[in-house]
Amino acid sequence: MGSDHGQSERGEQKERTPAGASAAPRHRARLDQPRAPRRSLLPEYDPEAFGRFSERIARFLGTGRFIVWMTVIIIMWVLWNVSAPEDLRFDQYPFIFLTLMLSLQASYAAPLILLAQNRQDDRDRVTHEQDRKQNERSIADTEYLTREIAALRMGLGEVATRDWIRSELEDLVKELEEHRALFPRVRRHGSDEGDR
């Protein structure tokens, strides 16, 4: 029965595979698990540490101290290879070895400087993005406060202030005084009609 079951599975597998394709079972990768790291023939390094190292070198290459030291070394190199005894000279007059060393230094300095510039550009990009978001928040806050102040001003326009009430009361007192001046009341002794 077990062999019949195995044969029926193989038969179903053959039916599912298209004609001309090999019937070897394929290994399917599981999507719920991370891939196993691949081995590389290239040496591994920490990009952050290498970037910091390149920035230090680029910073040093851009200083006057580097130019002074490089000038001193080249002058000493030339003087030694011109004035030293023949058997102690290691680079004869056309100074081919000096040219090679300067070319080698330049070929390493240029990529290191570019790497340092790229890292600085990345930092600047992040800083500009944060500044842009901060500016957007500040603009939104300013617009909100402007709307709130406008609403308060409109609300205050409808509220009776102390000065307005005082001026209205003064106007009423003046009107009453004018009214009394035009229509004086005659009071009778002993009657309280005038008090009412």
What are the tens digits of pLDDT across the range 84-96? 898 898 888 889 9
Q: Is 20 left (phi over 0), alpha (psi -120 to 50) or beta?
A: left
pLDDT at res. 140: 95
Q: Which residues contact 54 (CB under 8 A, 6 or more apart)?
A: 112, 115, 116, 119
Mean pLDDT of 56-76: 92
Hunting for tokens 């709130």 — which residue is that?
148
pLDDT at res. 20: 52
Q: Is the pLDDT of residue 22 over 60?
A: no
End-to-end Cα distance, the chain:
122
CA atoms within 13 A on the CB side of 106: 6
pLDDT at res. 23: 57
Higher-pLDDT residue of 58 and 9 is 58
- CA distance linking residue 46 with residue 191, whole number of Å: 110
Percent of the residues in the chain that have a pLDDT greater than 70, as a whole number: 80
- CA distance linking residue 34 with residue 36, whole number of Å: 6
Dihedral angle of Cα 74, 76, 78, 81, to the nearest 10 degrees: -140
Mean pLDDT of 157-185: 84
Mean of per-residue pLDDT scores for the chain: 81
- The 10s digit of each residue's pLDDT in 146-162 is 999 988 888 777 677 78
Name the residue type at position 134: Q
The listed range with the strongest mean pLDDT (14-23, 46-55, 73-82) is: 73-82
Angle between helical axes of 96-158 and 47-61 (0-180°, round to 10): 100
Give the residue from 87, 86, 106 showing the smallest Cα distance to 98. 106
DSSP state of 20: T
Range in 22-26, 74-78, 102-106, 177-181 with the lowest mean pLDDT: 22-26
pTM over 0.85: no
Mean pLDDT of 162-180: 88
